[in-house]
């Protein structure tokens, strides 16, 4: 009995501590926070311009190993599903644009890349670890969130499911 009560107390303290540090509720089923940024080529990227498309919004950085694994897959998906209404938009959380451009060229990335900042990370649920990927439905609402090293087959399956929705 004593062990159970102790475990319960620890669980309550941990959950209260998590609440105290301000964990935000899930963004799933809520409208994706709007942003307007310039991509690496200076083109204006407004998330609202992609309404009606399925958007894969990926937060990444050049120093993130799992990010460099995912990005080529996202390029492949852009080629495969783009005509069906799919769009990848990547948000680099790097401090300097130069390594981002170099990585984008080396990996032959074929989608817009914008530079992120602390505020954009906060808007998207306090992006702290990378990668973080949001799938946004045609209606502009977040349909799924994937954090950390992710099963790409599971993510692609969700992309295909969202593409079937009108």
Q: Which residues are catalytic?
A: 64, 67
Let me know how many helices (H) and strands (E) the chain has, helices first. 5, 7
Secondary structure class of 97 (helix, strand, coil) = helix
Q: Is 11 exposed, middle or buried (0-12, 13-18, 19+ CB in 10 A)?
A: exposed
- DSSP assignment, residue 25? P
Q: What is the DSSP string of 68-79?
A: HHHHHHHHHHHH
């Amino acid at each position: 009995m004593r062990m159970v009560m102790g475990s319960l107390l620890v669980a309550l303290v941990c959950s209260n501590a998590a609440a105290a540090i301000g964990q935000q509720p899930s963004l799933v089923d809520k409208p994706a926070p709007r942003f307007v940024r310039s991509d690496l080529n200076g083109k204006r990227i407004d998330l609202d311009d992609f309404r009606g498309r399925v958007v894969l919004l990926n937060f990444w950085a050049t120093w993130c190993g799992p990010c460099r694994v995912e990005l080529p897959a996202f390029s492949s998906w852009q080629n495969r599903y783009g005509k069906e209404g799919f769009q990848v938009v990547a948000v680099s959380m790097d401090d300097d644009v130069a390594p981002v451009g170099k990585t984008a060229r080396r990996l032959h990335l074929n989608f817009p890349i914008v530079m992120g900042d602390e505020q954009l990370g906060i808007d998207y649920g306090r992006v702290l670890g990378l990668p973080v990927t949001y799938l946004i439905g045609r209606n502009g609402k977040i349909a799924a969130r994937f954090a950390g090293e992710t099963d790409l087959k599971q993510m692609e399956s969700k992309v295909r499911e969202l593409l079937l929705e009108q």
